[in-house]
Amino acid sequence: MAEKAQITSVEAIESFRASLIVFLSQTGPVLEEVGNEMSRTRLWLQNDQRAFWQQELRLRARRLEEAKQELFNATLSQFQGSASLQLMAVQRAQRAVAEAEAKLGVLKRWDRELENRSAPLVKQTEQLRGFLATDMARAVAYLDHVLKALDAYRNVAAPHSEKTIAAEPAKTETST
């Protein structure tokens, strides 16, 4: 059995530990940004876009009612030319209302699909964040422990061999 271990890659362990710390410091903010972006997207769909299209639907419905009222007034006044223009305005307003209703329906479907499709991915992201925060933090601590143990081993092995060299000449002096 050898008296001394062959430790040649302590620098490699130190380099790996440093790279792991840099990796952990960079991935934390990235995973945080992923979660924030998902929340912003969900809020945009549920609040901003929904409110916009609901307001747009009310506005378009009001315009449709106004166009219908103008058509009714034009038919009462017996002006055929203006009645046809008013009829086209009513049809245009009806298409606008139908478009707004379709947009709201699409928005509601997107909201459901976003939740269904993103939930597994968000869960995986959270698991990765937990893994990096706990297990990788333990790995860094373990590498610290390994480096300290190797350093202690090097410090113990080196003075021990010097003591034996210094002790051998002392033995020879006392025997003469």
DSSP secondary structure of 87-116:
HHHHHHHHHHHHHHHHHHHHHHHHHHHHHH
Instruction: Report which of 37, 55, 63, 66 is spatially closest to residue 103, judged by C-alpha positions.
Output: 55
- Calculate mean pLDDT across residues 117-136: 91
Helices then strands, counting H and E runs in the chain, come out as 3, 0
pLDDT at position 163 over 70: no
The model's confidence at residue 115, banded by pLDDT at 50, 70 and 90, is: confident
The length of the chain is 176
Per-residue pLDDT tens for 16-68?
999 999 999 999 899 999 989 999 999 998 899 999 999 999 999 999 999 99
Q: What is the pTM of this model?
A: 0.59
Per-residue pLDDT tens for 57-111?
999 999 999 999 988 888 887 655 567 888 899 999 999 999 999 999 999 999 8
